[in-house]
Structure 1
Amino acid sequence: MLTTIDLLRHGLPEGGRKLRGAIDDPLSKVGWQQMWSTVDQYLENPPWQHIVCSPLIRCSQFAEKLADKANLSYQIIPELKEISFGVWDGKSPEEIGEKRLAEYWLDPLRYAPDQSEGIVEFNQRILNVWANLLNNYNGQHILLVGHGALIRILLANVLQMPLHAIYRIEVPFASLSRILIQDKGEKPFSRLAFHASR
């Protein structure tokens, strides 16, 4: 039994370059264009049976529009929200400090900002949702509309990368990745089919 899960990152939000965890900025005009450009090739004959998404509007508004256009069901899953950046939430790289931010990208386990969600806790939150998705949509092809850190966590787990290295995976706005999960009755075997396609 083969399960296929496509991972679509949201497009560019309004408000410019800044860290957004719980900050609920909507997609910008460019962000909407990026998203439609990515999925355009699939609209005539959508491969997905269902869409799941983060509750933040930069994901959920597009998921709702796509579901309506492609005649698909969709579900908002609160646990798919972005990682919290704590005291950095809503701040630009200049406000945080380029050196401090570079340390975090290099090793988020060691250099996490104050009051942020730890990478270990975030990883567990996302993997719990992932396990439910694999159970609920076994043998189907679904689309997950989410965030950069969320997609990095899933790819890192598929590729068996250490958690401190997740930000070494580039996940551009509105990029699409695909994970294939082969269930042969034992532990599912997951592999990356493609990454960051636009």
Structure 2
Amino acid sequence: MEIHVIRHTAVENPENLCYGFSDIPLRNDFCKDFNELIIDNHFDHVFSSPSGRCTLLAEHFKFNYKTDERLREMNFGDWEMKKWTDIPKEEINPWYEDFVQIKATGGENLLEMQNRVLNFWNELTSETNANKVLIITHGGVIRLILQFILQFPLENIFKIQIDYGKKMVIEFNEGHFSVKKVNV
């Protein structure tokens, strides 16, 4: 199976807000961004995060797609839509020191997010009988998929740059993964 995983295009966030689950809009000229994307149009299955910044992309390309909650970005709970600089230091500093275990009030930590993303991923790779699949999602989800395949330490996840509107291609064959392309 060939699995294409694309990150939504750039968002409108001039205030540098913390967002994950929140439905922050794409930047104003998102149609231009969409027109620059190179996406095949023949997939056996297309899955999308239910976030508008992902479903808008699926709709633009007229894909017949299914949304899946497990493909959402991290839930930052009470921090959602606050400026990063407005989050109290006594809350955010512990998270900066251990974002794998620590979570925002009302949110999730990286281990919880990893659990839901891998639940989707394992279901996809064990139950889906398809030759070619597209997943439209977020940078955090893509990093977790790469971390699972490449088995590097979870605390190194943000060392990987996942560009807006770019995809990675993964080959899955007889239980083995091969990362073919990243940020194309």
The TM-score normalised by the length of structure 2 is: 0.85
Whether 1:92 and 2:83 are equivalent positions in the alignment is: yes
Shift of 1:101: 6.5
**Alignment match, 1:61:** 56
The equivalent residue for 2:67 is: 76
**Residue 139 of structure 1, CA deviation:** 4.0
Contiguous gaps of at least 5 residues in structure 2: none
Aligned to 1:128: 119
Offset of residue 105 of structure 1:
6.0
- 1:192 aligns with 179
TM-score in terms of structure 1 length: 0.80
Query: How much has 1:92 moved relative to structure 2?
Result: 2.8
Q: What is the alpha-carbon distance in structure 1 between the residues aligned to residue 93 and residue 32 of structure 2?
A: 30
Match 1:147 to one of 134, 138, 141: 138
Alpha carbons of structure 1 residues 104 and 177: separation in structure 2 relative to 1, 3 Å: farther
Q: Distance in 2 between matches of 1:181 and 1:51?
A: 16
CA distance in 1, matches of 2:178, 2:97: 25
Deviations 1:11-49 (A, max 9, x none): 12234332212211232233342233122xx45xx3422
Number of aligned residues: 183
Distance 1:107 1:182, change over 3 A: farther
Counterpart-to-counterpart distance in 1, 2:180 and 2:97: 26
Gaps of 5+ in 1: none
* Structure 1 residues 47 and 101, CA gap change in structure 2 (3 angstroms): farther
**Equivalent residues of 1:105, 1:167 under 8 A apart:** no
Q: Give the % identical residues.
A: 25
Checking the alignment, whether the CA contact within 8 Å between 1:11 and 1:30 is kept in structure 2 is: no
Partner deviation per Cα, 1:74-121 (whole Å, 9 max, x = no partner) = 1111221111112321123333489x8687567412554333201111
Q: Distance in 1 between matches of 2:93 and 2:10?
A: 21
Contact kept? 1:107, 1:165, Cα under 8 Å: no
Using the alignment, how far apart are the partners of 2:81 and 2:119 within structure 1?
A: 27
Residue 57 of structure 1, CA deviation: 0.4
**Cα pair distance change 1:25/1:180, threshold 3 Å:** same
